[in-house]
Amino acid sequence: MVRYLKESDVQQLLTMPLALERVERALQDRALGRAVDVPRVRTRIPAGTLHVLEAAAPELKLIGYKAYYSARGKGTRFFVQMFDTESGKLDAILEASYLGMVRTGAASGVATRHMARGDAAVVGMIGAGKQAVGQLEAVCQVRTIREVRVYSRTPERARKFCEAMSPRLGISVRPVATPVETVRGADIVNVITNAATPVLAGEWLQPGQHVNAAGSNALTRRELDEQAVRRCARIAVDSRGTARNECGDLLPLVEQGWLDWDALPELGEVIVGRVPGRTAPDEITLFESHGMGIEDLYVAGRLVALARERGVGIDLPIGD
C-alpha cells in the first residue's frame, strides 16, 4: 500500500525544527557521499513547465523525486514520490507545496546557523510573499531574534505579512518603506523575491552581515547586484551543479572570472567542516539557495514515518 499525504496532512506533521534537522542531515550526508542529488530539470511547452528534482538516500532506503507543473495562468501543483530501494515498491506520495516552502526556509536556517554571527539579533526581509514565511521562521529558530524589518514593493503585502508574523513569532516584525531601511543595521538579510533585476545593492551592506538569497532560481533572474556579491568574503551554494544552471546572482562574476562554478563551496561542506562558513565577526557572508531534491526526500521520509505512527493520511491500493 502506498501512503498518500494531502497538504493538510503535511501541515499537521511538519514543523520547522523537524525540517531544520532533516535538511541539515541531507546536506551533510551528501557532502559525505552518503546521498545523491540530481539538479532540477525543466521541460517547457507553451501551456506550462514541468520541473523535476531527483534524489537518493541509500541509508534511508529511499529514492525518489519532486515534480511540479506550472500551468500558465493556472497555478502550480507539487508532489513528492518515494520508492523503497530494497523492495522496489512505490512507498509514498505527498502533496508538497507546504513542504517545499518549509524546507526552503530550513535551508536558509541551516546556512544561518553555520554562517551568521552567533549574536545576530536583527533580520531584514526583502520580500513578503508565501516563501518569506519559511525564511523568517527558520532564521528565528537558529538565532535569538528581537527585531525584524520587512520591505516589499507592495506595501500592503508587507503590512499583512508583519501583522501575521509578529504574533506568530512573538517579536517585533514591522514594515519599512525602502529596502535600504531593511538592510542597514540588520545582522541577517533574507532576500526572497522573484525579481529579474537586483533588489539588494552592495553599497547597503555592512560588516558582519549574513545574506540568504533564496528567490532566484534562473540564470535570467538576479536579486543581488555585482557589488553585493563582491563584498561577501564567504559564499556558499546548496549545490554547485544547481548553481551553475540557476544562479543568476553569481553568473556575471563567473563570466568575469571572479568566481568559478567548480570552486564554489557547498553548504554541506561547511556543515562537515571541510570549508569555513565564517572566519571573522566582520566578514559578510552569503548563502545562495536554489533547492535540492535531497532536501525534499529527507523531509518527506520523516513525514511518512510519522504519518504511519500517528495514523495520518490514507493508503492507496497501488503498486503492490
Rounded Cα gap, residues 102 and 253, in angstroms: 30
Detail the DSSP E strand segments found in 162-254.
172-175, 188-191, 210-213, 234-237
| pTM given for the model | 0.95
Residue 248 has pLDDT above 80, yes or no: yes
Domain chopping of the chain, boundaries: 2-100+294-316, 116-291
Contact 290, 241 (CB under 8 A): no
Number of residues assigned to the chain: 320
Q: What is the pLDDT of residues 133-189, one digit of tens each?
A: 999 999 999 999 999 999 999 999 999 999 999 999 999 999 999 999 999 999 999
Q: Phi and psi (nearest 5°) for 154?
A: -110, 100
Half-sphere CA count of 224, side-chain side, radius 13 A: 34
| CATH 3.20.20.140 fits domain 2-100+294-316 | no
Cα radius of gyration rounded to whole Å, the chain: 19
Q: What value does the mean pLDDT take over residues 5-11? A: 98
| Residues near 287 by beta carbon (within 8 Å), at least 6 away in sequence | 107, 108, 111, 112, 115, 210, 211, 212, 213, 235, 236, 237, 238, 267
Give the confidence band of 195 by pLDDT, cuts at 50, 70, 90.
Answer: confident
Q: What is the pLDDT of residues 52-75, one digit of tens each?
A: 999 999 999 999 999 999 998 889
CATH placement of domain 116-291: 3.40.50.720
